Amino acid sequence: MTIFVSTDWLAGELGRPDLVILDASLFLPGTPRDPRAEYAAAHIPGAAYLDLPGLSDPDDPTPGMLPPDAMMTRHMQALGVNADSRIIVYDNSPTHSAARGWWMMRVYGLGADQGMSAAILDGGLPKWIAEGRPVESGVPAPAPGNAIARLDRAQVRTKADILANLDSGEAQLLDARGAGRFTGAEAEPRPGMASGHIPGSRNIPSSAFFTAGHVMKQGDELRRLFLEAGTDFGRPIIATCGSGVTAAIILAGLESLGKTDVSLYDGSWSEWGFDPATPKATGAA
């Protein structure tokens, strides 16, 4: 399956027994919106709610870190995910958080082809509704699934990895936060967090990846976006952001262009920015 599927495609697949649809809407801290309540009010028929904030390691001091395999397994089975499921993730969020959900399916090897059949609904719920397609309300109870989550740590980078990369320069870092947060001109949304960016990283704000209709840019237009930001396609790329959510948009974009030597710094600025010992840069890249 491709990384992105269209609303037309999904409309034709609704009701298939091997299809699992997940609403992965997520909002930044302080936003007066409740993704769970919005899901209950209106979601794509048959969709289950993927609680991204709840799917994090309870023992890690950094919020939003990937959960243990057993915890991920319990959550996915409760959502009806089976070993052969085709998983479609969507959102109704300005953060385009479906990408994080998609990446989690991939990194834990969930569903058909060990996660490689997971996809993002291009345009998400806004496009679906704008086209007059059906929605339903309530909170359905899927039949329990049998999927087993196994984290592929080769796709994940740690703070130690990033510190080592500052010395080696092997991989290039791409940061998906807004330009103001990247340069340090704009305060971080979490109190007490330093401003700026990881030294040597480049900046592509996540909003730049989408058209006005919430659809992901493709082909030459997408490649040009990366190149104009100084992306070196000859090096491995590590994506980062504020908390590991919008960084997944970078990975989805790169993989749609055929680049697969990519990974994600899960702690991102939530970890790096809170650590007084990590080096930080300000200003443009």
In this structure, the chain runs to a length of: 285
184/283 Cα distance (integer angstroms): 7
Q: How far apart are CA 171 and CA 159, in angstroms?
A: 14
Torsion of CA 260, 265, 269, 272, to 10 degrees: -140
C-alpha 208/C-alpha 230 separation (Å) is 15
Active site residue 241: yes
**How many CA atoms lie within 13 Å of 9's alpha carbon, on the beta-carbon side?**
16
Q: Give the tokens for residue 243.
A: 């908390």
- The position carrying tokens 């090897």 is 109
Residues 6+ away with beta carbon under 8 Å from 190: 29, 270, 273, 274
Distance CA 118, CA 88 (A): 6
**Of the candidates 159, 46, 35, the residue with the CA atom closest to the CA atom of residue 97:** 35
Point out the catalytic residue in the list 89, 121, 238, 241. Answer: 241
Where b means 16+ CB within 10 Å and e means fewer, 204-224 reads: bbbebbbeeebbbbeeeebbe
- How large is the greatest C-alpha to C-alpha distance in the chain, in angstroms? 53
Sign (positive/negative) of CA torsion 225, 243, 192, 165? negative
Residues 237 and 240: their CA atoms lie apart, in Å, by: 10
Q: Which residues are catalytic?
A: 241
